[in-house]
Each structure stands twice: as structure tokens, then as C-alpha cells.
Amino acid sequence: MEGLLVIDIGNTNTVLGVFEGERLLCHWRISTLVERTLDEASVLLKELLLLEGISPDRIKGVSLSSVVPPLTPVFEEASKKLFGLQPLVIGPGIKTGMPILYENPVEVGSDRIVNAVAAYEQYKRELIVVDFGTATTFDYVTQKGEYLGGAIAPGIHISLEALFQRTSKLPRVQFAKPKGVIGRNTVWSIQAGIFYGYVGLVEEIVRRMASERKSKPFVVATGGLASLIASETKVINEVDEFLTLKGLRILYERNLKR
């Protein structure tokens, strides 16, 4: 479909993109501000589009995933105001094409379902999606394309910030791959603990999930820090920076045909 705007509102960042058919024309990553008003959201969407030379009247559909409830109606109304369109909001009642085997399906974050749908559509096999967002999530999809469940851990930036805030003498540091695991100064030591700690976290959870299922799942990673972690481990088979945006497009098309 021409001119599909996709919006993924996360706790830390909001990622947006415009698809023309299956082709991602452009994308943006902005800070998530809970206090953002309807007028601000409308101006923001318009300016981002115009920055890429896209007139708002080219947008013929909007697909929205949000884990920040106060911002969902803000971007819904902004879409109506700017494009005259009611967005598809990912949540209970929409057609996903994927059975959700969680004990209470309503509890599953919309971004996790979007990622699972996108990954299964692309690979058509048993898989794990690892998303390095505000939280680090692991989502398991069966060979039949069922969302089985997963695991949730604190995100990398949350861990770094907690270390800074809850200790008296440790500094706030930037997340980066250190020169080695034995740090020779405090910044290096923190980076080593967080970086290799998360590599170990990913490897162990993937190993245990595979063992529990007695399978060899394909592992797809997404999120801003996916490439950095993937560079240090062999358990991640593929990194797809735009997995969530692709899933929003797929779900829009599935529901358009209802």
C-alpha cells in the first residue's frame, strides 16, 4: 500500500516509518515524551514527513503500536487531525494471524506480538525474537506460528542508570563494547560488566528456551543495541533493525482485508 505510516511508541524511544508497498521509504527515531500534546504530535508528524519530501496527503493508512497508554490517544487524534485517518491500533480484537498461547493474552505487550508476527512471516520456522529496548524481551514462536511466551529482563540502559543512581561513587557511563572483560578503570569495569553480562544473559536464556522446547530455534534480534550484542555472540542468527516497523505493516494489511 502506498503511503503507510507506522508508529511504534516505546517507553524510551518512538520509531516511525513510511512504507510504499513493502519498501520502507524512510524512518525516524525520536524520544518518547509522555507529556507530548495533541498539537505537538501533529506538528511533529507533519514536520518529519516534510523533512523527507512527503506530503501528508500521501499517507493513506496509519498503523500504531504503543506500550505508553497516555500517548496512544494523542497519536490517534493526531492521525485523524493530520490525515483524516483512524489508525489501526495494535491490541486485543485485531487480526494477527498468530494464536497467542499466553495465559492471559491481554498482558502481552503489543510490540512483542508485532515482532513475533514479523519474524515468523519472514522465516516461517520456530524462532526466538530478542528485542533490546527499554526492557530486553525474549519471545518464542513455535513451528506452527504460535506465540508461546517469553522472558523479560531489565534493559541495558535501565541497568546502567540503576547502577549510577543506586551507588554513591560509580559514574554514569555510555554503553559500549570494552577492550576486554577485566576492566583497568571504573568506566571500563562497568562497561565490561554490563556488556558481557548481557551477552551471557542472551546466550543462557536462548540456550534454556531451546532446551525446554527440545528444538533449535532461529534467533532474530532487534532494537537499537542489537548489532552491538550480536557482534559478540553466535546464538543470534540475524539482526533486523526494522522488525517492528515491518510487523506493523503486515498487521495493517491483514486487518485491511477483513
CB 198 within 8 A of CB 156: yes
Residues marked active site are found at 111
- Reduced to 3 states (helix: H, G, I; strand: E, B; else coil), residue 205 is helix
The span from the CA of 183 to the CA of 181, in Å, is 6
CB 21 within 8 A of CB 249: no
DSSP states of 116-159? HHHHHHHH-S-EEEEEESSEEEEEEE-TTS-EEEEEEEE-HHHH
Taking CB atoms within 8 Å and a gap of at least 24, the contacts of 119-126 are 119/220, 119/240, 119/243, 119/247, 120/145, 121/246, 121/247, 121/250, 122/240, 122/246, 123/218, 123/220, 125/217, 125/218, 126/213, 126/215, 126/216, 126/217, 126/218
